[in-house]
Structure 1
């Protein structure tokens, strides 16, 4: 059975307590896991550590921690510590993020993202094993590192967030799972084939990998408002977050629209960019509208072959009551 999880909304929270309350609400509603990306603002590690002490059963995980903002050894330590804090409920998701975040905000050259992601994944897995780590990679060099505490038991899974074919294949070869986001149904199926190919190249069983599909969701009694929020969200990611999302949609058959949205956003014509998304992409990418419409569309994504959990992501422009309403309407039955 496909799990139902929550992608906590980083943009809608005014305090750390708000995150805690949302995590507790998600647990009470029966969601299996609360995922948190790290973008800007509050760091994901502190939030998840706080949630670990304030919840009892819900799984906790990073949908993505960038591999450029921390060392590989530190990411391993962090995963081990969060696993201990949560009593075995943690799962680590990592990935390269993109040049707009890494270079502009962290001041680090965005070089060799695939190689860096692979080497980070391997080093983190070695750290979590409790064995001494001696790793001489092209990007990562670790010598004589070992945890000064017992290794986590169970060992948390290490997932990779990926949108492109090579990155998804890498997740299949080296990681324990894949975080997929901003996909149409057809686009997901194409990338899922890359994941399976990667697993086979690595001599692994593809069915052993956990696949989490993040779906933008907004379920409101005012269905028009829900669609508007989703269109604004998609337009922001295509137009304002570098080229990764634009290129991912272009690969899925929306090249003309993706470039038009990106150009309009860069020209500061945000209204036109949003209108382009509303006309072309919302129904393909999201589960939005009235509660019944959103539930029916979410079921389509949950039924895709290979999906282990659908993660409810909410639009960045949604206010707190709209986030809560969506979580309540789409909660597991």
Structure 2
């Protein structure tokens, strides 16, 4: 099992600390760093900054929001990052949701799965160095409809990359199925290993439908790593972020995190948390998050407890675990990450 880390979707104010964190994580053997975008920083610029400060750690977008860039710009950005990092870039894509796509970017959130498929098909053609033509529901290249008619089918001006793996962040069954069909990896969230089949079975079915094996994909999920003797305190603290995800990260009609937890046996609880959050009763919403939802989505406790939980992810089929080490400062986070990497080494020789 590989270990990855990520930068959050919020504002970054201390870039020196971020670079130190990533450089030290690289020394510890972390496989990949993933950046995020919501409505603070973009997902790409931090990777360009960190590519210049690192040598081995892979660098990925988790996620680059679909619809906010043309497919050609997605491919051009990926090729530039892959070139400047000497082949370390991973392209993670996702549809986000209507609150961000329509509210922040002013772009219709329509048929996200179909749009994802078209973007990836176009990006792959560019990666292959093809002269670009495409006819789809969303994209027409060259553009002839409501256009000057002067567009030209072009070949990419940069050399094709040797290998840029494409990951999809997906949660719903149809999106998971498509991930198995066309992606090189899965970026999973809201994942409890006891219910792994709800996520992994559709990916496997999608892969098999096109003659692939699920072993062809890197399956990634993870959570907070919190070494503590006071599990109850940690759970209470982590409820706040989980309540925000299932209560605020989406509308009443579209909250993919909420839907994922409903499918994993928390239908009533997820519905209550969302209702309370949208009504402005945030403290009550946090209190309604079940302890089992928090403990199932994260690795909390002493070394033995965290070791056992990590084994469950491994045995469920997760091939990359994204670790968010808990700590009150950089040194504490790095210490937690180092302890976790020791556990990973211990179980890496075990048979699942």
| TM-score calculated relative to the size of structure 1 | 0.91
**Where does structure 2 lack aligned partners over 5 or more consecutive residues?**
143-152, 346-352
Matched, 1:56 2:55: yes
* Runs of 4+ residues over 4 Å off in structure 1: 220-225, 317-322
Matched, 1:6 2:34: no
Tell me how far apart the structure 2 counterparts of residues 221 and 47 of structure 1 sit (CA, whole Å): 35
Matched, 1:244 2:252: no
Give deviations 1:150-186, integer Å, cap 9, x for gaps.
111x221111110010000011111122111111124
1:276 to 288, 291, 305: 288
**Where does structure 1 lack aligned partners over 5 or more consecutive residues?**
none
Question: Cα 1:68–1:50, aligned 2, differ >3 Å: closer, same or farther?
Answer: same
Moved more, 207-216 or 10-19: 10-19
Report what 2:322 is aligned to: 311
Report what 1:32 is aligned to: 31
Q: Give the Å deviation of 1:15.
A: 2.8
Tell me how far apart the structure 2 counterparts of residues 10 and 141 of structure 1 sit (CA, whole Å): 32
Tell me how far apart the structure 2 counterparts of residues 104 and 319 of structure 1 sit (CA, whole Å): 34
Give deviations 1:82-127, integer Å, cap 9, x for gaps.
1111101111010101112111111111101010011111111111
Q: Give the Å deviation of 1:225.
A: 4.4
Tell me how far apart the structure 1 counterparts of residues 20 and 191 of structure 2 sit (CA, whole Å): 29
Q: Give the Å deviation of 1:202.
A: 1.9
Q: Give the Å deviation of 1:46.
A: 0.8
Question: Cα 1:12–1:322, aligned 2, differ >3 Å: closer, same or farther?
Answer: farther
Matched, 1:259 2:271: yes
Report what 2:45 is aligned to: 46
Report what 2:147 is aligned to: none
Count of residues in Structure 1 that have an aligned counterpart in Structure 2: 329
1:146 to 155, 170, 188: 155
Tell me how far apart the structure 2 counterparts of residues 70 and 267 of structure 1 sit (CA, whole Å): 34
Give deviations 1:277-296, integer Å, cap 9, x for gaps.
24341122211234553343
Tell me how far apart the structure 2 counterparts of residues 91 and 119 of structure 1 sit (CA, whole Å): 19
Report what 2:189 is aligned to: 181
Tell me how far apart the structure 1 counterparts of residues 154 and 222 of structure 2 sit (CA, whole Å): 34
Aligned alpha-carbon RMSD (Å)? 2.1
Report what 1:129 is aligned to: 128
| 1:172–1:195 Cα contact (<8 Å) kept | yes
Q: Give the Å deviation of 1:55.
A: 0.4
Tell me how far apart the structure 2 counterparts of residues 115 and 98 of structure 1 sit (CA, whole Å): 14
| 1:82–1:90 Cα contact (<8 Å) kept | yes
Counterpart secondary structure, 1:133: coil
Q: Give the Å deviation of 1:17.
A: 2.7
| 1:265–1:273 Cα contact (<8 Å) kept | yes
| 2:10–2:41 Cα contact (<8 Å) kept | no
Q: Give the Å deviation of 1:61.
A: 0.8
Q: Give the Å deviation of 1:220.
A: 4.6
Q: Give the Å deviation of 1:230.
A: 2.0
| TM-score calculated relative to the size of structure 2 | 0.87
Report what 1:219 is aligned to: 227
Tell me how far apart the structure 2 counterparts of residues 223 and 12 of structure 1 sit (CA, whole Å): 29
Report what 2:314 is aligned to: 302
Report what 2:96 is aligned to: 97
Tell me how far apart the structure 1 counterparts of residues 336 and 112 of structure 2 sit (CA, whole Å): 35
Give deviations 1:291-312, integer Å, cap 9, x for gaps.
553343233213322x211111
Structure with bigger RCO (C-alpha 8 Å, 6+ apart): 1
| 2:222–2:298 Cα contact (<8 Å) kept | no
Q: Give the Å deviation of 1:276.
A: 1.8
Tell me how far apart the structure 2 counterparts of residues 32 and 320 of structure 1 sit (CA, whole Å): 19
**Rg larger in structure:** 2
Q: Give the Å deviation of 1:320.
A: 4.7
